[in-house]
Amino acid sequence: MTSATRSGALPEVPTIAEQGLPGYQAITWIGFYGPAHLPSAIAERLNALARASVNSAAARPWFKDNGADPGDMDQKQYAAFVASELGKWKNTVARAGVSVD
């Protein structure tokens, strides 16, 4: 399990940290994006609707049945998360010497 916590779908599978590699985390993440300079009121409304949908009584069982543990971030939290992930993977790619031809 490459997330920081065990999966609800596979609670018996230990995380990589529990297996001796603390600090490692690689997760799938999906977010909603809009055009540059989208008015903040519209962005906030779309964020609220998306979060309500993900957290709805109808959606939660679907996520659980499909092994997903969805997050719940506001715009600032998500922007910070994306910046962190991009920095982490940029450094990982650089250390590995990966290049695109």
* Closest by Cα among 22, 27, 33, 99 to 70: 27
Mean pLDDT value of segment 84-93: 90
Q: What is the pLDDT of residue 66?
A: 85
Cα 31 to Cα 13, 42, 70, 94: the distances in Å are 26, 16, 11, 25
At a CB cut-off of 8 Å and minimum separation 6, what does 16 contact? Answer: 1, 2, 24, 25
Q: What is the pLDDT of residue 1?
A: 87
Instruction: Answer yes or no: is pLDDT of 50 > 90.
Output: yes
Mean pLDDT value of segment 76-90: 92
Mean pLDDT value of segment 1-14: 88
Higher pLDDT, 84 or 9: 84
pTM over the 0.85 mark: no
